Amino acid sequence: MTTDAGDVYYYNAATDTSVWEQPPDYVEEAAAPVVQAAPANNPWQELTTDAGDVYYYNPDSGESAWEKPY
């Protein structure tokens, strides 16, 4: 966490305590993954093979791709 003055401190929500020094058991939260949303007029569909592999299919053009095309 950061104070209004820009000083860093550590807050434990489970115990409702805060400290200035980094605790020895501190684990930094992973940033949430950025998910790119498809444009509203995007025809691509995300599908899954019988083996569980994800692929993308465009019914308008008949194209398919392993990599996300948008």
pLDDT value, residue 25 = 84
pLDDT value, residue 58 = 92
pLDDT per residue as tens digits for the range 2-55? 888 989 998 888 888 999 999 888 877 666 555 566 677 889 999 998 888 899
pLDDT value, residue 33 = 58
Q: Is the dihedral of CA 68, 48, 63, 65 positive or negative?
A: positive
Is the pTM here over 0.85, yes or no? no
Which residue type occupies 36? Q
Instruction: Give me the residue spans of the domains in the chain.
Output: 38-70
CATH code matching the domain that covers 38-70, chosen among 2.20.70.10, 3.40.50.720, 3.40.50.2300, 3.30.420.40? 2.20.70.10
| 69 class by beta-carbon count within 10 Å (0-12 exposed, 13-18 middle, 19+ buried) | middle
Q: Across residues 49-68, what is the average pLDDT?
A: 91
